[in-house]
């Protein structure tokens, strides 16, 4: 059996989505900007996709939802264009974000710092969440933008977007949220709270890779990132990616119709897996389960290094993810893991399991049994569980070489 | 960057089959107890290196025959990734049958080499070389415990890059001989800094005593100082073209003071050196006339000629004097 438990990285494209996309490759391939019927014949499908996205997020008709190539583009667009509009061509010089954002926010912030922008990186609490009141205390009259993720890719923890939105509205500061891990997993109603910009990506909710969007409240000003033609009302140039837009519309509709019901089903399976893991001694789950996306578990298994765990799970054909430094190209510990700071070991032992609506009960049973076996084998090798103590003088000083 | 780098290599695909096999089924994983060693009349040494909070930890067990210092059995326990477990496993295998003195000569390079499937293909991707260093460190520690000496005493030179085992003296020499100016060049010439990258600059995976950026900067500084000293020596022997600017100005001033200035002052004038610029063909000395020289008809003809020919004779035939 193969079990895919890495749905926060990407998801399987729903076959219904593929089916909806297929006619727009070789049958209706016209450029929607063309005047002839080859071009215009795709307009009804595009209009439907736009409707599907607006409906899924309960966006107002006065808002813009602009299709982009991915959420990384959407995040870059907001940050870089706010820099152009309000720092280069305005009197602001400050942005507020968090320590646990996706690299497409953090790396862009570092780039903006090189351009002279001051950035405040808000810390998270032991639940891995930014508390709304900390946002308030860092906003100054020079603050152009606050950017806080809706839910964490690593922990699944949901951030207080409604409260932060109110603070930003009160202070007159623009508010952006990277909604990638929230949309399709939990209800997102853009008219029930105040947020100026929201980034999203279709491949996180069973749509295709290479298509995302940026929500822009009330069609407000935001200098384009990509200049060119008059596509998407001039907001984002580049020939409309017709099949992928159609796919994203279908995917978001499927992911958000009856979302409470679907989420409850996923949550039930997730909780069963989580309960079984908690039965193993010396395991720690990050974050209160009630305030988490219903599909995500981040667990620390004492004495078992994350890459080893991933290795053993992979041998059992289970795909998961680790924030362990050892598994990264540059041996850098995951920033989100370090920011939570519950203990340093989390940075080396964290395993993330993320389910989807396609995860079955049989797969959960299989995953539980393999997880238990992997922990058993790796702990039998682990020095953390050795019984014979070192010769006097042979003890290791805690972390004598490495950064904690 | 080029075509081959467009799709990053999968970490696990870069592991040798030996690494994979030993990770899946380590041969020497386990413990030796004090009682077991004693029952065979042997001495047990147990050494730890690293800690769970650092990301990797290894515990090495040596059962040593005290009559001849031979390691008759060795086992390990490891908290770490696949390459850490495989490195620990091959390390114990390399230790068995050796005397303590022989074992202490095993380096991380030997450990990595023993994990290779064929001699020309690295067993692990560059950033994982670091795991084999743990094996080397824990062996030194165990040997130190057995012999009652400090583990550091086994190290004869200062190792800056442990992954590639490049010493401080080698780095300094290579920078000098090849006139290296960048970290990338150092890595190309010595492999130092090409693996876990901790030794390049502070803030990497490990805290280090020596960093390549500092060694490069300090060596370059020494080289510059030596160059200046050489130039100063050249000044003493009259090699004007190779002096530094400051030395050249001083030399010109000295000649002016000695042979020119007195005549200018007699006529109520003076001059000062403004700048010296070197081109391929000429050394241009820019001067400014002061007092009565300023506007004097001879200042562009006879006086100028006299100054220039004096400097040419005393310093360099390539000198041109340009009043401004």
Min Cα–Cα distance to chain A from B58, Å: 6
Q: What is the pLDDT of residue A401?
A: 44
Mean predicted confidence (pLDDT) in A337-345:
65
Mean pLDDT of the B58-71 span: 96
Tokens of A294: 């219903």
Please name which of A210, A179, A232 lies closest in space to residue A50, comparing C-alpha atoms.
Answer: A232
**Which has the higher per-residue pLDDT, A229 or B34?**
B34
Q: What percent of chain A has pLDDT over 90?
A: 86
Cα B194–chain centre separation: 12
Identify which of B32, B196, B206 has the shortest CB distance to residue A388: B32
CB contact set of B86 (below 8 Å; sequence gap of 6+): B15, B18, B19, B20, B22, B23, B26, B115
- Residue A283: per-residue pLDDT: 93
Q: How many residues does chain A have?
A: 404
Chain-centroid distance, C-alpha A314? 23
Of the residues A304, A401, A403, the best mutation for testing chain B's interface (the one with the most B CB atoms within 10 Å of its CB) is A401
Predicted pLDDT at B126: 82
Which is nearest to B129 in space by CA: B76, B84, B68, B168? Answer: B84
pLDDT at B250: 81
pLDDT tens-place string over residues B269-295: 888 888 888 888 888 999 988 888 877
Q: Is the dihedral of CA A107, A109, A113, A118 positive or negative?
A: negative
pLDDT of residue A302 exceeding 60: yes
Q: Chain B interface, mutation test: which of A284, A320, A348, A383, most B Cβ atoms within 10 Å?
A: A383
Question: Is residue B129 very low, low, confident or very high in pLDDT (cuts 50, 70, 90)?
Answer: confident
Element (H, E) at A367: helix A361-381
- Percentages helix, strand, coil for chain B (3-state, rounded to 5) are 50, 20, 30
Respond yes or no: is residue A326 known to be catalytic.
yes
Pairwise pLDDT comparison (A193 vs A348), residue with the higher score: A193
Other residues' Cβ atoms within 10 Å of the Cβ of residue A323: 25
Q: What gap in Å lies between CA A217 and CA A96, rounded to an integer?
A: 19
Q: Please give the pLDDT value at position A402.
A: 43
- Mean pLDDT on B112-123: 93
Q: Quick check: A318 and A369 in contact, CB under 8 A? A: no
Q: What is the pLDDT of residues A110-131, one digit of tens each?
A: 999 999 999 999 999 888 899 9
Winning range, highest mean pLDDT, from A211-215, B152-156, B318-322: A211-215
User: In which band, very low, low, confident or very high, does the pLDDT at B230 lie, cut at 50, 70 and 90?
Assistant: confident
Contact B80 A326 (CB under 8 A): yes
User: In this predicted model, which residue has the larger pLDDT, B41 or B203?
Assistant: B41
- ipTM score here? 0.88
Interface test with B, best of A302, A305, A319 (most B CBs within 10 A): A305
In which region does residue A151 sit, left (phi positive, over 0), alpha (psi from -120 to 50) or beta (all else)?
beta
- Which of B145, B197, B206 lies nearest to residue A393, judging by beta carbons? B145
* Token couple for A7: 């749905």
Q: Which residues of A touch B34 (CB under 8 A)?
A: 388
| Segment holding A308, helix H or strand E | helix A306-315
Q: What pLDDT shows up at residue B293?
A: 81
Contact A383 B59 (CB under 8 A): yes
What pLDDT, on a 0 to 100 scale, did the predictor assign at position A34? 94
B268 has a pLDDT exceeding 50? yes
Asked if residues B106 and B91 have their Cβ atoms less than 8 Å apart, the reply is: yes
Nearest to B253 by CA among B275, B226, B232: B275
- Beta-strand relationship, A212-216 and A197-201: antiparallel
CA–CA separation, A157 vs A150, rounded Å? Answer: 9
Kind plus residue range of the DSSP H or E element containing A71: helix A71-82
Partner residue facing B47 (CB), from A311, A385, A391: A391
Local confidence band at A403 (pLDDT 50, 70, 90 cut-offs): very low
Separation between Cα atoms, residue A187 and residue A263, nearest integer Å: 9
For the four alpha carbons of A74, A80, A83 and A84, in that order, the dihedral sign comes to negative
Beta strand A143-147 with A94-98 is parallel
Residue A249 near residue A42, CB atoms below 8 Å: no
CA distance B136 to B134: 5
pLDDT classification of A342: cutoffs 50, 70, 90: low
Give the chain B residue whose CA is nearest to the CA of A312: B24
Q: What is the pLDDT of residue A352?
A: 94
Checking if the pLDDT of B208 tops 80, the result is yes
**Cα A336 to Cα A126, A139, A327, A402, distances in angstroms:** 11, 23, 15, 19
Q: Tens digit of pLDDT for each residue in A43-91?
A: 999 999 999 999 999 999 999 999 999 999 999 999 999 999 999 999 9
Q: CB distance from B140 to chain A under 8 Å?
A: no
Cβ–Cβ under 8 Å, residues A318 and A1? no
Mean per-residue pLDDT over chain A, rounded: 93
Residue B280, judged by CB atoms within 10 A of its CB (0-12, 13-18, 19+), counts as exposed
Give me the pLDDT at residue B84, please.
93
Count of CB atoms situated within 10 Å of the CB of B236: 9
pLDDT tens string A272-301: 999 999 999 999 998 999 999 999 999 999
- Which candidate, B136, B5, B84, places its Cα nearest to that of A311? B84
The tokens 């989390």 sit on which residue? A346
SS3 category, B277: strand
- Contact between B85 and A325 using a beta-carbon 8 Å cutoff: no
pLDDT at B154 over 60: yes
Q: Which residue has the tokens 């813009």?
A: A64
Predicted confidence band of residue B4 (pLDDT cuts 50, 70, 90): confident
Q: What confidence score (pLDDT) does residue B313 get? A: 86
pLDDT at A328: 64
């Amino acid at each position: 059996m193969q079990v895919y438990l890495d749905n926060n990285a990407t998801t399987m494209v729903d076959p219904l989505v593929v089916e909806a996309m297929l006619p727009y490759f070789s049958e209706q391939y016209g450029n929607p900007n063309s005047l002839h019927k080859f071009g215009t014949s795709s307009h009804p499908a595009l209009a439907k996709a736009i409707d599907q996205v607006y409906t899924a997020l309960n966006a107002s008709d006065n808002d813009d939802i602009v299709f982009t190539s991915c959420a990384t583009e959407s995040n870059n667009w907001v940050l870089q264009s706010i820099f152009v509009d309000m720092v280069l061509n305005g009197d602001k010089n400050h942005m507020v974000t968090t320590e646990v954002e996706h690299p497409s926010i953090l790396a862009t912030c570092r780039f903006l710092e090189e351009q002279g922008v001051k950035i405040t990186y808000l810390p998270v609490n032991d639940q891995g969440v930014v508390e709304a009141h900390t946002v308030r205390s860092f906003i100054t009259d020079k603050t152009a933008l606050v950017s806080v993720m809706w839910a964490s890719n690593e922990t699944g923890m949901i951030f207080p977007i409604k409260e932060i939105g109110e603070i930003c509205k009160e202070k007159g500061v623009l508010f952006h949220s990277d909604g990638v891990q929230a949309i399709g997993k939990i209800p997102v109603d853009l008219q029930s709270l105040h947020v100026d910009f929201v980034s999203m990506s279709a491949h996180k909710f069973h749509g295709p890779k290479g298509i995302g969007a940026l929500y822009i409240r009330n069609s407000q000003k935001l200098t384009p990132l990509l200049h060119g033609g008059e596509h998407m009302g001039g907001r984002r140039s580049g020939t409309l990616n017709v099949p992928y837009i159609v796919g994203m519309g279908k995917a978001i509709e499927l992911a958000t119709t009856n979302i409470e019901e679907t989420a409850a089903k996923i949550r039930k399976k997730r909780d069963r897996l989580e309960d079984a893991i908690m039965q193993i001694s010396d395991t720690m789950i990050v974050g209160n389960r009630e305030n988490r996306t219903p599909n995500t578990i981040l667990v620390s298994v004492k004495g078992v290094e994350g890459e080893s765990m991933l290795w053993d799970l992979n041998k059992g054909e289970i795909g998961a993810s680790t924030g362990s430094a050892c598994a990264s190209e540059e041996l850098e510990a995951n920033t989100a893991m370090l920011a939570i700071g519950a203990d340093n070991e989390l940075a080396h032992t964290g395993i993330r399991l993320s389910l989807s609506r396609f995860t079955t009960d049989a797969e959960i049973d299989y995953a539980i049994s393999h997880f238990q076996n992997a922990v058993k084998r790796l702990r039998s090798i682990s020095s953390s569980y050795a019984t014979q103590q070192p010769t006097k003088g042979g003890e290791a000083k805690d972390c004598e070489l490495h950064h904690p | 960057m080029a075509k081959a780098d467009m799709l990053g290599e999968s970490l696990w695909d870069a592991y040798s089959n030996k690494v994979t096999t030993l990770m899946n089924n380590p041969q020497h994983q386990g413990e030796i107890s004090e009682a077991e060693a004693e029952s065979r009349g042997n001495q047990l040494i147990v050494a730890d290196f690293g800690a769970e909070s650092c990301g990797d930890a290894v515990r090495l067990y040596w059962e040593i025959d005290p009559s001849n210092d031979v390691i008759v059995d060795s086992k390990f326990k490891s908290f770490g990734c696949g390459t850490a477990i495989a490195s620990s496993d091959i390390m114990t295998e390399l230790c068995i049958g050796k005397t303590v003195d022989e074992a202490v000569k095993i380096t991380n390079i030997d450990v990595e080499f023993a994990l290779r499937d064929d001699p020309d293909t690295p067993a692990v991707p560059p950033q994982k070389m670091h795991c084999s260093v743990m094996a080397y460190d824990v062996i030194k520690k165990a040997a130190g415990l057995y012999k009652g000496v400090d583990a550091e005493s086994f190290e004869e030179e200062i190792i800056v890059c442990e992954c590639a085992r490049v010493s401080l003296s080698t780095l300094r020499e290579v920078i000098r001989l090849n006139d290296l100016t960048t970290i990338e060049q150092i890595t190309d010439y010595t492999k130092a800094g090409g693996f876990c990258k901790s030794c390049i600059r502070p803030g990497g995976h490990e805290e280090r005593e020596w960093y390549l950026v500092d060694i490069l900067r300090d060596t370059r500084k020494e080289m510059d100082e030596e160059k200046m000293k050489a130039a100063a020596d050249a000044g003493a022997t009259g090699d004007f073209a190779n002096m530094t600017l400051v030395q050249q100005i001083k030399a010109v001033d000295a000649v002016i003071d000695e042979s020119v200035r007195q005549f200018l002052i007699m006529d109520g004038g003076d001059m000062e050196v403004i700048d010296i610029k070197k081109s391929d063909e000429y050394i241009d000395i820019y001067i400014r006339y002061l007092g009565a020289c300023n506007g004097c008809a001879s200042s562009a003809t006879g006086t100028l000629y006299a100054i220039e020919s004096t400097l040419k004779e005393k310093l360099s035939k390539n000198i041109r004097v340009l009043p401004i």
